[in-house]
Structure 1
Amino acid sequence: MGADVAAEVVLDLSRLLSRVLHPTPTGVDRVEMAYARGLLETIPDRLCFAAVHPSGLYGRLPRGEVLRFLDETEHRWQAHGRSIARSMRPFAARTLLRLLPRPVRRKDMPRLYVQASPNNLIKPDLVRAILRREQARFVCLVHDLIPIQYPE
C-alpha cells in the first residue's frame, strides 16, 4: 500500500453488537466505542463498519443505523444501567434487525480491517474468511497484556 493512497478503513463492531442486551459497558466495550467515535471524527469519508452479527452472519453495517446504535448505546451507558429488562429486549430486537449485515462490495482501493476488541480472535478461520472477503490487511489492537503475562 503506497503512502499516498488512502485506504478504506473497516471497523469491526462485533463486540458492541454482541452486547446489545447489556445496559452497562465493560472496558472492552468502551474501547470499541472510543475507536468508533475517534475514527468517525478523523476519517469519516474513509470509514465503514462491519460485524459478525449475533445471528452468525458477517457483512457491512448501514452507516446511519450504526450512528443511531452508537448514540443509543452511549445514552444507555450514561443511564448507569437503570434501564429495566422490559425496555432492553425491544431495543435489542430493533437494533439487531436494523444492523443485519449487508454484502461486502468490492472497491479498487486498499482496505484496512480494524479489530479493536478481542471478539472473534479465537476463531482464526473466521478471521481469515473475513479478510479474504474484505480483501483487506488486518489491524488488530492489543490493549491489555495482563492476561498474557499473568494467566493465573
Structure 2
Amino acid sequence: MRRAGKVLTGVDRVELAYVQALIADDVLMFGLVRSRIGYILLGQAGVEHMVPFLSGPVSGETVETQQRQSWRHVRKYAIGRVPPFLLRALLRRKLPTGFTYLNVGHSNLTDRVLGAVRSLDAQITTLIHDVIPLDFPEFQRDGTVQRFADMIARVGKFADLIIYNSKDTQARAQTYLPETAASIVSHLGTVKVDANAADIPSRVPQDTPYFVCIGTIEPRKNHAFLLDLWDQMGPQAPGLIIAGGRGWKNEDVFARLDALPVGGPVFEVAGLSDGALAALMDGAAGVLFPSLAEGFGLPAAEAAARGVPLIINDLPTLREILGDIPIYASVSDRYLWLNKINELASLGPNAPDQQQYVPPTWDAHFKTVLKLT
C-alpha cells in the first residue's frame, strides 16, 4: 500500500503479477493490509478494486492523491479491521481453515503476522528476491542490515515453502537460513511493455546515439563506473541516459550528477513511465548494467526481451537468466567496456544480428509455484 501511485520497482512488479494471477485463479483469496493503527482484511472484491492503485502512477494525479484514494478504497472494502493484538482472532474468524499465507515482497514478515498464521495451522509461503543486504552490507542504508537478517531468520523459522527467483539466490540465501524449509526455484516472468515515446519528456536528448542505464541510483548499481567511463571518453562521447530515482549512500555520485554540464553527453531523469522507458530502450544503441550484485535482474531481462543490445557485468545470476544474449564485461576491464560501447554506438539502434531472447513467462512461473502453495 505504501507503494500506491509510485513508479513500480522490480519487487512491485512481482507483487502485482501475483495479485493478478490469484484474482484469475478459482481459489478464494483475501488481502491483508497493515495500517497505522493495525490490520485490515480485504475480500477478493476488495483486492480486485485495489489493482489500479498498485499498477503505477496515473497521469495527471499526484502520488499523494492516489495514496489517499487507495486508502479510501481499503476502508470501503474492508471485511475486518483490528488493532495489532487482535490479528490472530481476525484471521481465525474470517478465513477458511487450511488457508495459505503468501508473501512475495519482503514486507510484513513479522513475528506478529507469521506467528498469528502459524497458530492457525495455515501454510506459509514466501518469495526471497535476494540476500544482497547480507552479502553486501556496505551498500545498504544505515540500520537496515540487521532488520533484513532478522527477517530472513523469521522466514527460516516459519516458512513451509520458500520460492527463489534464481538458483543463485537460493544458494546464497540458504547459507543464512537457520532452518531449511522446502524450496523451489522459478524464474520470474517478463512482460514486454508497449513503447510510448510521447511519455518521454522533451528535455531528454535522443538526437545522437545514446545508451540507457535503468535503476535506482544507489551504490550497488555502480553508476560511478559509468560516469568514470564517460569522463574518460570526454565531450564527444555518445549519450548516456541515467533513468532512475536517487537512492541512498551515494552522495559522491549525486554530486557528480549535479555538476554535469548542460548539454553534455550524460543526462539524468527520474520517474519515467514504463512506456517511456520501453521507448528509450528501443531507440538506444544499448542498455548498460554495471551492477555489482543482482537477485534476478528484471530490467536486464526486459531489455533483452526487446532485442536491445546489453553490456552487463558478469554476474552468476545474470548468466543464469540471460544465457549468451548479453555482452558480458567485468567492471574490472574498463578497456572492454569502452571498446564495446564505441562499437555499439557506431551501429546505432536496432543493431543487426542480435540473438532472439526468449524470456521466462509468468504463466510458466505460476504453473510451477501455485500447484505447491
Matched, 1:51 2:33: yes
**Unpaired runs of at least 5, structure 2:** 81-89, 139-373
Matched, 1:146 2:143: no
Larger radius of gyration: 2
Percent identity over the alignment? 22
Whether the 8 Å CA contact 1:50–1:60 is kept in 2: the answer is yes
TM-score (norm 1): 0.65
Report the CA distance shift for 1:19/1:56 in structure 2 as closer, same or farther (over 3 A). Answer: farther
1:1-152 map, 5 Å: 17-20=1-4, 22-41=5-24, 43-53=25-35, 55-74=36-55, 76-77=56-57, 82-85=59-62, 88-100=63-75, 101=78, 102=80, 103-104=90-91, 105-106=93-94, 109-121=97-109, 123-132=110-119, 135-152=121-138
Residue 115 of structure 1, CA deviation = 0.7
TM-score (norm 2): 0.30
Question: 1:141 and 1:39 mapped to 2: Cα distance?
Answer: 15
Report the CA distance shift for 1:65/1:130 in structure 2 as closer, same or farther (over 3 A). Answer: same
Whether the 8 Å CA contact 1:113–1:131 is kept in 2: the answer is no
Query: Bigger relative contact order, structure 1 or 2, given CA contacts below 8 A and separation 6+?
Result: 1
Report the CA distance shift for 1:131/1:92 in structure 2 as closer, same or farther (over 3 A). Answer: farther
Q: Secondary structure of 1:117's partner?
A: coil
Residue 28 of structure 1, CA deviation = 1.4
Residue 146 of structure 1, CA deviation = 2.6
Question: 1:107 and 1:89 mapped to 2: Cα distance?
Answer: 32
Runs (4+) of structure 1 exceeding 4 A deviation are none
Question: 1:25 and 1:108 mapped to 2: Cα distance?
Answer: 32
- Give the RMSD, CA atoms, in angstroms: 2.6
